């Protein structure tokens, strides 16, 4: 049940981001001003809440990204992505994050070589972000990867 709720939550967030991107690409100036006035405060509040959860503790570790067995030193990947997108912007060279690499992972071919993963068609009845997760890659590591 938690997986389904989590997927519904993620889908709602992805859909919202898609809608905002579409508005930024296609809306006229008055609509953009209206959206900016309503959405920018919400987006900045969201970034602030997320970054507060990743604020380093007294040892300099990120309490959210750290586990009992692996300490994650600050700045964690969340702070790095925040800096890249909010401060450095288009001026910094775009480094591919582990999460982006994982989403554009390579899949083994029949001869054992690797090739870029093919995009899967999204079922029409569930919208752009399917409730059914895609099958795990054949070369996935047990236990998953940390972002």
What whole-number distance in Å separates Cα of residue 143 and Cα of residue 141?
6
Residue ranges of domains in the chain: 1-54, 56-89
Sign, CA dihedral 54-56-58-61, equals: positive
Query: So what's the pLDDT on residue 95?
Result: 53
Number of H-type helices and E-type strands within the chain: 4, 2
Per-residue pLDDT of the chain (147 residues; tens, 9 = 90+): 788 999 999 999 999 999 999 999 999 999 999 999 999 999 999 999 999 999 999 999 999 999 999 999 999 999 999 999 999 876 545 455 544 544 444 434 444 444 443 333 433 434 444 444 444 555 544 444 444
CB within 8 Å of 108: residues ≥ 6 apart:
114, 138, 139
């Amino acid at each position: 049940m938690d997986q389904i709720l989590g997927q519904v939550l993620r889908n709602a967030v992805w859909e919202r981001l898609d809608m905002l991107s579409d508005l930024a690409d296609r809306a006229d100036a008055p609509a953009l001003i209206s959206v900016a006035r309503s959405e920018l405060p919400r987006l900045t509040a969201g970034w602030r809440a997320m970054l507060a959860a990743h604020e380093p503790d007294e040892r300099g570790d990120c309490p959210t990204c750290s586990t009992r067995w692996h300490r994650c030193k600050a700045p964690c990947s969340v702070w790095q992505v925040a800096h890249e997108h909010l401060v450095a912007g288009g001026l910094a060279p775009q480094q591919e994050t582990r999460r982006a690499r994982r989403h554009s992972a390579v899949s083994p071919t029949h001869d054992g070589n690797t090739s870029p993963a093919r995009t899967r068609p999204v079922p029409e009845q569930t919208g752009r972000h399917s409730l059914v997760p895609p099958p795990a890659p054949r070369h996935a590591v047990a236990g998953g990867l940390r972002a």
